[in-house]
Structure 1
């Protein structure tokens, strides 16, 4: 994605296919393995050289958090001039009293990357935070913007630097994190790369009362680029274009309303036996009953093999669950002539139980694995939308991939054909993330992806292995899995799909000895 990179201060913000179709069934199995999210069996630790090229900007002190006692929002926005990106606006209150700050609207005309901030609470000790996590499949050199801090004359400043990162082998690497030492429990400001897509952003008017002197209040931009509006309907009947496609003539997709108000949303489900065969309808029904009993509202399925649609669909209907359906793309590629993709589309069209479906996911890490170019994926999503619209599905679409695929490609065309953005985020494969920090890691990954497209985002896979080898401080185990999943659930359980229901003994263990052990049902007593 084309980006104009700027430097700015970090600021704390207030606020029915036959089960006998074994080729597709086995083919999907191989891709469901995690393998470090890098396509290899290795869990690698960083050991690379970092070469910096600074993009300079104005030095600014990182300010204290605002101290306010009450806040209310006034409705009428106004437009101001000098601000070029929607970073929170600092407003100084020199004496106690009630202050009114007018609304501000910023129009971003091109994709712009700046140095933003997030906050995290850490215990006493030395901590490594932030940076950019990337996954590579071979020895390579990565060039990307990273947010970091500099200290000059006692002033700490957040800046963006272009980093050339030499990766000696396949693996997961955290590029240019910051290290901080604190004497006690402290809320730390961590610089992050923040991308703003073209659109209109509004900071509402704020009326606030402060009780101390020299308080700095931040007015964040809470309203991002609006969804495109539809042209008004004609006042009299008009004939349809002579050659309109089903996708062009179908009603526009409604605004997505996904997730849940609670802390449990969805679970991935693959109807495979421990030996790698296909489960029957009764066994699927029993599994789905258990998932529903644990309080989940939604199931994510990847493909249409193993009679997934009729069996899982019937079980979901019987137990009141929603479904996230999928088109699975494998090593044969994702061009429109792919027969495996064509079979899945045909199966979905035959099934057509759209009243159960909340979202359609076209591709699972297809860009990262090199199965789809950006243009091929864009074309395929457009085709699937057209095909499913012809049989009545007008719900939202997305594709899901790891963060490195979203930020490492110009994905603007993909962003234009999806309704929500999605990522797969597994904190275990970051060697510096302990189980208790898994929720913060996953939330950070989601935030990055949401900024890429400027659309609401969801995590289509996240979890923690219950057995295997330690990857730095990321150690697997039943207790560690419980800690990690509770951390993720607490942080953003209403927006994540947990991976996975049961262990998968049919998989190869991998160098991490963890591939078979992502089943998390025991965490909820199942």
Structure 2
């Protein structure tokens, strides 16, 4: 069955289109256990995905993705609604609202596009630094009377030695490029969730459109966490970076770089004078480089001019904010055109194609690889011959075959936010981020950089990771001490124009005050 994903629904509610430059994070529950204590998770709800799966007994299962109805069970939850369009035409899907009154853990469907062949998907990935036993909830499937049911089960997994382990993945075999559905453990926070009305024109038969929900109002976050959004790993000591490839001339000092988006508090574009004032403040704090995500709001001419005035370098990018990063994507093409028409390449130290595009399912690995190759070719024609990369969360690098992607980038990069790890206190944020950097450097065997890291001043607690002004300062200084010369801090100011997110934190990552500006 051919499937496509309509991500415009979320953008319509947020009202910010492709400006959601950061950040979405994996929400997984996992806890390391060194005793007989359990993590307290049992089978909670089951979701029927459909009956047109084919299950082959044995270690390898093969299935064809089916329609994904709204989950059934004791609690209605805002998982993407699958709308079937049997014939070409224009379809209108009405708005739907779901109110969640208590924190709920469900087995929700996740879609990903894969090429033909055998693929290992899903599961829970953890990194351990010593032999240990992990007890965690995992999403898996069961078959009874020809019906495949996704369920959450508690699994005990023995890690015999240090390393990276994927617990309870699902192996699928597809004969052609296919969008497959994988069950994922998902925590839904209390709040009101809306999938707005969508009108779309379909040109193919038997198309399935997934309409996502967006949180439009949630109660105040509680002081104690209900789940850990990422694998609670103990902060890891950084390892030596690979020695077989010379590092480009990037990084330096304890305050290398800061992310910057030229938006006012209401989401409108700043003027050139406002941008100039911001860049002057960042330079006065001792930073040498700015990272921008895309080309909208006259980013290149305005930020470029200010960087030239105050002696800052630039990291430029192509932002992919919706499914589809093929070379013909008009949003991608317009950003590439803006880069080609710009004349400030002498300021640029790095070009970043995609920000968490793999994790969000906006690109397949091959699509992203192709886009980077195309970008390198076209920008070489206008004078840029510097390094390229893409950046993603560590799990996206670990859970995909990225060997081809590694071959087209010059450095490897990840976004690492210790706040989303429930085992990391603000004082240990630097060790955690350094450990994440060490992991991705080994994956591609290339020099690595952190292109987003920080700590929020508002939101809910995840374990010992709590937001706050003092907590942010402690975390930022910890990161600065450990990996400041290879890290881009997120972000210059708060972003009130964003949705608060399940964490209640997405607007509150501005850290300029930590650096005295």
With the length of structure 1 as denominator, give the TM-score of the two structures.
0.60
Matching residue of 1:34: 23
Per the TM alignment, residue 256 of structure 1 is displaced from its structure 2 partner at its CA by 1.2
Alignment of 1:136-215 (within 5 A): 140-142=122-124, 146-149=128-131, 158-160=161-163, 162-164=165-167, 168-169=185-186, 172-174=229-231
1:285 to 276, 282, 296: 276
For 2:360 and 2:371, the matched residues in 1 are separated by 16
* Unpaired runs of at least 5, structure 1: 1-21, 51-135, 152-156, 179-187, 195-220, 228-254
Alpha carbons 2:417, 2:454 under 8 Å: kept: yes
For 1:137 and 1:349, the matched residues in 2 are separated by 41
For 2:165 and 2:412, the matched residues in 1 are separated by 26
Matching residue of 1:442: 433
* Unpaired runs of at least 5, structure 2: 1-11, 35-106, 111-121, 134-159, 170-183, 188-227
1:224 to 243, 265, 281: 243
Alignment of 1:196-275 (within 5 A): 224-226=243-245, 256-260=248-252, 262-275=253-266
Question: What value does the CA root-mean-square deviation take over the aligned residues?
Answer: 3.2
Deviation string 1:361-384 (CA, Å, 9 cap, x unpaired) is 000011111111111111000000
Against the structure 1 CA distance between its residues 409 and 443, is the aligned structure 2 distance closer, same or farther, given a 3 Å change threshold?
same
Per the TM alignment, residue 509 of structure 1 is displaced from its structure 2 partner at its CA by 1.5
For 2:164 and 2:311, the matched residues in 1 are separated by 50
For 1:400 and 1:413, the matched residues in 2 are separated by 15
Matching residue of 2:471: 480
Matching residue of 1:154: none
Alpha carbons 1:148, 1:191 under 8 Å: kept: no
For 2:409 and 2:387, the matched residues in 1 are separated by 7
For 1:501 and 1:296, the matched residues in 2 are separated by 11
For 2:393 and 2:374, the matched residues in 1 are separated by 23
SS of the residue aligned with 1:148? coil
For 1:451 and 1:437, the matched residues in 2 are separated by 22
SS of the residue aligned with 1:393? coil
Per the TM alignment, residue 352 of structure 1 is displaced from its structure 2 partner at its CA by 2.7
Aligned length: 344
Matching residue of 2:62: none
For 1:223 and 1:442, the matched residues in 2 are separated by 17
Per the TM alignment, residue 468 of structure 1 is displaced from its structure 2 partner at its CA by 1.6
Alignment of 1:343-422 (within 5 A): 343-422=334-413
For 2:108 and 2:284, the matched residues in 1 are separated by 39
Matching residue of 2:483: 492
For 1:360 and 1:137, the matched residues in 2 are separated by 35
Against the structure 1 CA distance between its residues 145 and 503, is the aligned structure 2 distance closer, same or farther, given a 3 Å change threshold?
closer
Deviation string 1:139-193 (CA, Å, 9 cap, x unpaired) is 8523677553269xxxxx8455855258632573427x68xxxxxxxxx9x799x
The list of structure 1 runs, each at least 4 consecutive aligned residues, that deviate by more than 4 angstroms after superposition, is: 22-25, 47-50, 136-140, 143-147, 157-163
